[in-house]
Amino acid sequence: MNSPGCPMRSATERVKFSSVKMPGASDLFLGLDIGGTKCAGVVGRRDGQIIGREQWPSQSQRGPEPMIEDLCAHARSLLQNHSGVIAAGVSIGGPLDADRGIIQSPPNLPGWNDIPLQSILEQRLGLPTKIEHDAAACCLAEFYWGAGRSASRLIYLTCGTGFGAGMVFDGKIYRGSGGKSVEIGHARYREDGPEAFGKRGSVESFCAGVSLGKIAAWLFPNHWPAPPAAEDLAELWRSGDSDAHEVIAINARATGEVCANLGDLLRPDAILLGSLAMHLGEPWVEIVRDRFRAEALSDTASCRIEPAGLGAHLQDCAALVVAVSQSED
């Protein structure tokens, strides 16, 4: 079902762009990052340099149309302040159809059911626009400008609000049939455990950053009858609390096992880790690496397991790279 206010547009109603011209030195790109908590818009150059930025709260409970109105208002503000923008890119959580630019009910965006975001933005902004899964966009940004620049086969794991996977092979984002985004978080990890995305014991319920509190309440219900905030658990972990240590170790070991499975299956050069690697640092990453080395085949163990290199700039760069990459499709 389409959301009220965001009807599907026919092929004849959509703005047509035969191609994005090859950018010159002065050309700029618009990147839009849509999340369940916050959204941001950036204008930047082909080398990843960001020269303009605006951020605002998502207020996702309002549904898609008010969010899209905010998105367009901030995009127009950026376009007014920066001339020479030739293309727009959007980074947004899945599931989605990247080939057609249709958003298909992401769990953190209520009401975004079959929303044709690409055609809506092309109509309203007058720019060729590309929509991409946020994990895939982050992976591509790391390939262009971050820790994945030397990797011919690269995987990125979000390790944040959700647990998404992005894959870039030979410089191109890997997608499923019909433009479908790669979704690893919903896969079964254990028969029992916390619940995420409607499934108990899923990969996301053990590996996402937001799942730390769920693990704590599941593992130690007497200590934490309700899930504590991930930030509180991290602080307890740093202070030497044994229960918090076990919660974070479970999360890190699970992430390492997922890395091992992906490593054996796809033989990447590197697997890069998102939010938790930045917030918990090298001690957490080393647990992930130890578990990866213990579980992966011996000839897979050469795969690099590293934090994403773009750090706090990754989300902005991810949105920007979707726009930049259009000129190379």
Instruction: Name the residue type at position 39.
Output: C
Question: Are 83 and 118 in a shared domain?
Answer: yes
Radius of gyration of the chain (CA): 20
Q: What is the rounded CA–CA span in Å between residue 38 and residue 319?
A: 13
Cβ proximity of 316 and 50 under 8 Å: yes
Cβ proximity of 72 and 125 under 8 Å: yes
Question: Are 162 and 286 in a shared domain?
Answer: yes
Q: Is residue 15 included in any domain, yes or no?
A: no
pLDDT number for residue 1: 35
What the block records as the tokens of 49 is 């340099």
Q: Is residue 296 included in any domain, yes or no?
A: yes
CATH of the domain at 208: 3.30.420.40
Q: Is residue 71 included in any domain, yes or no?
A: yes
Question: Are 318 and 304 in a shared domain?
Answer: no
Span of 174-183, 205-214, 253-262, 284-293 with lowest mean pLDDT: 174-183
3-state DSSP call for residue 188? strand
pLDDT number for residue 136: 96
pLDDT number for residue 24: 57
Q: Is residue 23 included in any domain, yes or no?
A: no
Could you read off the pLDDT of 149-206 as tens digits, one per residue? Answer: 989 999 999 999 889 999 999 999 998 888 888 889 989 999 999 998 788 999 999 9
What the block records as the tokens of 124 is 């309203």
Q: Is residue 179 included in any domain, yes or no?
A: yes
Total tally of structural domains belonging to the chain: 2
**């946020």: which residue's tokens?**
134
Domain housing 88? 28-132+314-328
Whether pLDDT at 16 is above 90? no
* Closest-CA residue to 152 (of 136, 141, 168): 168
- Those residues with Cβ within 8 angstroms of residue 120's Cβ, 6 or more apart along the chain or in another chain: 6, 9, 68
Q: Is residue 209 included in any domain, yes or no?
A: yes
pLDDT number for residue 25: 53
Looking only at the bridges linking them, the beta strands covering 270-273 and 304-307 are parallel
pLDDT number for residue 132: 96
Question: Are 281 and 323 in a shared domain?
Answer: no
Q: Is residue 22 included in any domain, yes or no?
A: no
Q: What is the rounded CA–CA span in Å between residue 271 and residue 286?
A: 13
Question: Are 289 and 197 in a shared domain?
Answer: yes
Cβ proximity of 307 and 190 under 8 Å: no
Q: What backbone torsions phi and psi does residue 224 show, to the nearest 5 degrees?
A: -125, 85
pLDDT number for residue 284: 98
Percentage of residues in the chain with pLDDT exceeding 70?
Answer: 91
